[in-house]
Amino acid sequence: MAKKATATLKGYARKAPKPAEEYLPQTIADLKAELSLLASYSTDTIYRLRYDTMQYDYVSPSVVRLLGFSQEEISKMNIRSLILETRMVAAAMKPVESFLALEEVRKRGDVNKWQADYLMRTKDGRKIWVSDISYPWFGESGAIIGSVGSLRDITDRVEAEESAKAEIARLADTDRLTGLSSRAVFFTKLEDELRRIKRNREDLSVMIIDMDHFKNVNNNYGQAVGDKVLQGVAKIIQSCLRETDTGARIGGEEFSVVLPETPATGAYWVAERIRSSVAKETFALGEENHLFGCTASIGIASARFDQNLDAGELFKIADQRLYIAKHTGRNQVSMDEIVDVH
């Protein structure tokens, strides 16, 4: 048995693969055909660009899939005419205002590798993002006469990156527990609206909402239950606001609201609707289904266009009125202005 196995192995060994050289093209024509085939099937567009004309000396057939132009059409065009925006990798992907200085650096050969993303216009008018990676192309004298590189459609990647950035920004601007705006967003919005009412000669109101005896909720029922209460109150606040209003959680059990184009009277009725809705709401305690309620106190401050109040000053006035509401009975709205409640 051993002898037979040895013979089989020897037979197998005699059938060694051919040397790699036997599979290589044997003539220049074969080599050109091979390269043409590879270029045709590549998803990237391979090119050779002349700097004197900024036109393609060669471009692979896949340019039709990329930009919609034929090889003949693209060879007669200045590529810059299709580029709407450029972001250089070496410049942290910041948009480039002018190509002139960059092109001079590249033509001198100071850049060994050119890597940039372009927003380009296709033949049918679409806009796509294209990645460009190229290297210097040297002439017979050793001087740089252009570049050799490849173009790749990266539209899907850029859109995914921008979507991810937008989501990160949204999370940074949002209170994770309640889904309302963050404290930073609230004060930015308040400053913006204070500037706007001066231009448009309008009124603006701010309210601060604070849960009454909320520490007792956490102490008696636990933080998990307290978080559910805050989420429920946040939903009530949001349901009472317009799209132009901004509700925010500014810390712990405290919320704030910016009410553009809203005088004191209008702010009072919004605040009263929030207060009464919170007072009517009941919250369940785990599996025991024990129901309990909470109340909130609210302080309101308003600004007219002819007043010179900044965000901090207006917020301080609302906070003072919240203090009054908390120390004169709670579960009420406090404001200096007289409001007809009938």
Contact between 23 and 48 (Cβ < 8 Å)? no
What is the Cα–Cα distance from 213 to 227, expressed in whole angstroms? 14
268's tokens: 């009072």
Contact between 186 and 249 (Cβ < 8 Å)? no
What is the Cα–Cα distance from 100 to 110, expressed in whole angstroms? 14
Query: Mean pLDDT over all residues of the chain?
Result: 85
Contact between 276 and 331 (Cβ < 8 Å)? no
Q: State mean pLDDT over 173-183.
A: 92
336's tokens: 């200096």
Q: Choose, from 103, 253, 287, 337, the residue flagged as catalytic.
A: 253
Alpha carbon 217 to chain centroid, angstroms? 37
What is the Cα–Cα distance from 259 to 202, expressed in whole angstroms? 11
Domain extent listing, the chain:
16-158, 173-334
Which residue in 51, 59, 133, 67 sits closest to 99, CA to CA?
51
| Fold classification of 16-158 (topology level) | Beta-Lactamase (3.30.450)
- pLDDT, residue 126, reads 95
HSE-up (13 A, CA, CB side) for residue 95: 5
pTM above 0.75, yes or no: no
- pLDDT, residue 29, reads 67
* DSSP collapsed to 3 states, the chain: CHHHHHHHHHHHHCCCCCCHHHHCCCCHHHHHHHHHHHHHHCCCEEEEEECCCCEEEEECCCHHHHHCCCHHHHHCCCHHHHEEEEEEHHHCCCECCCCHHHHHHHHCCCCCCEEEEEEEECCCCCEEEEEEEEEEEECCCCCEEEEEEEEEECHHHHHHHHHHHHHHHHHHCECCCCCCECHHHHHHHHHHHHHHHHHHCCCEEEEEEEECCHHHHHHHHCHHHHHHHHHHHHHHHHHCCCCCCEEEEEECCEEEEEEECCCHHHHHHHHHHHHHHHHHCEEEEHHHCEEEECCEEEEEEEECCCCCCCHHHHHHHHHHHHHHHHHCCCCCEECCCCCCCC
HSE-up (13 A, CA, CB side) for residue 267: 31
Which residue in 262, 232, 258 sits closest to 247, CA to CA?
258
Which residue in 186, 165, 309 sits closest to 237, CA to CA?
186
Q: State mean pLDDT over 163-180.
A: 87
77's tokens: 């065009």
Residue 276 confidence (pLDDT) above 90: yes
- pLDDT, residue 342, reads 44
Instruction: Read off the amino acid at residue 118.
Output: Y
Residue with more model confidence, 296 or 289: 296
- pLDDT, residue 336, reads 77
Percent above pLDDT 70 for the chain:
81
Crossing angle of helices 214-221/223-239, nearest 10°?
140
CATH number for the domain running over 173-334: 3.30.70.270
- pLDDT, residue 123, reads 95
- pLDDT, residue 1, reads 45
Q: Is 72 one of the annotated active-site residues of the chain?
A: no
